[in-house]
Amino acid sequence: MQVKSEQVQTDITLYTLVNDNGMEVSCLNLGGVITKIMAPDRNNNIENVVLGFRNLDDYKQNPTYFGALIGRVAGRIQGSQFELDNEVYSLEANNEENHLHGGSHGFHAAIWDVAPFENADEVGLKLSHFSPDGEGGYPGNLQVNVTYTLNNKNELAISYQANSDHKTALTLTNHSYFNLSGNLKNDIKNHKVTLNSSKFVELDAELIPTGKQLSVENTVFDFQLGRQIIDGVKSDYDQNLNAGKGYDHYFLFDHTRPEQAIVEDQQSGRKLIVTTDQPGMVMYTSNSLDDSLELLEGPSKQHLGICLETQASPASLHHEGFPSVILNKDETYTAKTTFTFDVIK
Asked whether 216 and 198 are in contact (CB, 8 A), the reply is yes
How many residues are there in the chain? 345
- Give the angle 263-268-273 at the CA atoms, nearest 5°: 25
Q: Which residues are catalytic?
A: 175, 309
C-alpha to C-alpha distance for 163 and 178, rounded to whole angstroms: 30
Quickly list H helices, the chain: 58-61, 230-234, 238-242
Is the four-CA dihedral 105, 140, 90, 289 of positive or negative sign?
A: positive
Nearest Cα neighbor of 268 from 42, 63, 103 is: 42
Query: Do residues 172 and 69 lie in contact, with contact meaning Cβ atoms separated by under 8 Å?
Result: yes
Distance CA 342, CA 197 (A): 22
> β-strands 248-253, 197-203: how paired?
antiparallel
Q: How many CB atoms lie within 10 A of CB 314?
A: 29
Nearest Cα neighbor of 95 from 178, 5, 207 is: 207
